[in-house]
Amino acid sequence: MNNKLKIHLLVNEVAGNGHAKKVLEQTKSILINENINFDLKKSNYAGEAIRIAQDYGNQRHLPNEVLLVIGGDGSLNEVLNGIKWSSNPNTPIAYLPAGTGNDFARAASLTDDPQILLEHFKKGFKPDLIDCGSFIFPDITIDKKYYFANSFGIGFDAFVNHNSNISKLKKLLNRLNEGKLIYGYNVLATVTKQDTFGVEIEREGHKIYFDDAFMVTTTNHPYLGGGLPLLPSAKIDNHKIDTVVVEKFSLAKLVKLFINLLKDGSHVNDPQFHYFEAEKIKVTTTKKEFAQVDGEEIKRNSFNIEFSVSSFNLLR
């Protein structure tokens, strides 16, 4: 037995429409072949990984132990919250991306190859301090802080996310490894249905109001929707978060912005595209809109949110 390592696997087998199950099998066979000590916990329902990770963080662990998450961005979000709510919020997290979008892995340049990750582990555990976003709903409770690895979006991107998650086509296209196609299709299908809403942004004592916002997304890094570089300048380790506000545009404008986004990132120079970078940003909306956190839908009639940058220990 390789006494140097002890791996605690935490897996969401339904992530990536079953891709996580394959990554788990691959990882297990490497661990068995290399005689590395491991145990395995599976999340049996949405939300269970929060409790499993919190229990893990509440226990004492030796320096040779690591929690390795296999799943998508939603699974990582659950584990991040579980660890941050535990009595040892600095407990390091390792992560093998196996979802459909994997935006966090893209932003943090993570390998999706279990063999490569294990080779890194064998050289020693040196966690990196990586940014994540945090938020509270001050009109509900100021004590409960939530965390995200990718983004918190209100409006258009959340509506697209909602349509992508319920789409019957999603499973088929995912099976063909074309998850991005369904997101692109839903961008076009949703643009005519998204209404506009008022949003107030407050940062560093300055307030700015938009009457006709189309989306307002607070992000920890550039990517959205499985690799779309919404805000190329956003950094995962600059200890800042960014809020993007996009004002109402026509279908023709959407096509132009989308082409620029894919071509050279020049969509950020459009007069209807705004972004704000700070350690703390307040976002207030007054209308019922779709909202998503790390790709998971949240339901509220309006939003009054205080975002701030936070961090966690990532082993990669």
Ligand X SMILES: Nc1ncnc2c1ncn2[C@@H]1O[C@H](COP(=O)(O)OP(=O)(O)OP(=O)(O)O)[C@@H](O)[C@H]1O
Instruction: Return residues touching ligand X (CB under 6 A).
Output: 12, 14-16, 43-47, 71-75, 78, 99-102, 295-296
SS3 (DSSP) at 147: strand
Which residues touch 285 (CB under 8 Å, ≥6 apart)? Answer: 154, 197, 198, 199, 200, 213, 216, 302, 303
| Cα 129 off chain centre by | 16
Q: Which is nearer to ligand X, 65 or 296 (CB)?
A: 296
For residue 168, the surrounding DSSP H or E stretch is: helix 168-175
The smaller minimum CB distance to ligand X, of residues 203 and 221, is found at: 221
Which of residues 25 and 211 has its CB atom nearest to ligand X in the complex?
25
Distances, alpha carbon 184 to alpha carbons 157, 222, 269, 290, in Å: 11, 17, 22, 18
- Measured distance CA(228)–CA(242) in Å, rounded: 16
- State the minimum distance, in angstroms, from the CB of residue 14 to ligand X: 5
CA 55 to CA 261: how far, in whole Å?
Answer: 41
Report the alpha-carbon distance of residue 64 to residue 124 in Å, rounded. 8
Name which of 112 and 270 has its Cβ closer to ligand X. Answer: 112
Measured between alpha carbons, how far is 220 from 231 in angstroms, rounded to an integer? 10
Q: Which residue has the tokens 């040892």?
A: 88
Q: Look at the block and give the residue holding tokens 């690591």.
A: 66
Q: Please name the residue that has the structure tokens 């919404």.
A: 230
Residue with Cβ nearer ligand X (12 or 218): 12
To the nearest 10°, the Cα dihedral for 16, 19, 23, 24?
90
Minimum distance, C-beta of residue 221 to ligand X, in the bound complex (Å): 14
Rounded Cα distance, 39 and 52, in Å: 13
Shortest CB 163 distance to ligand X, Å: 14
Of 43 and 284, CB closest to ligand X: 43
Q: What is the C-alpha to C-alpha distance for residues 259 and 254, in angstroms, rounded to an integer?
A: 8
Residue closer to ligand X by CB (options 20, 278) is: 20
Work out how close the CB of 176 gets to ligand X at its nearest, in angstroms, rounded to a whole number. 15
CB of 145 vs ligand X, minimal distance in Å: 19
Output the smallest distance, CB 199 to ligand X, in A. 25
Minimum CB–partner distance for residue 76 and ligand X (Å): 7
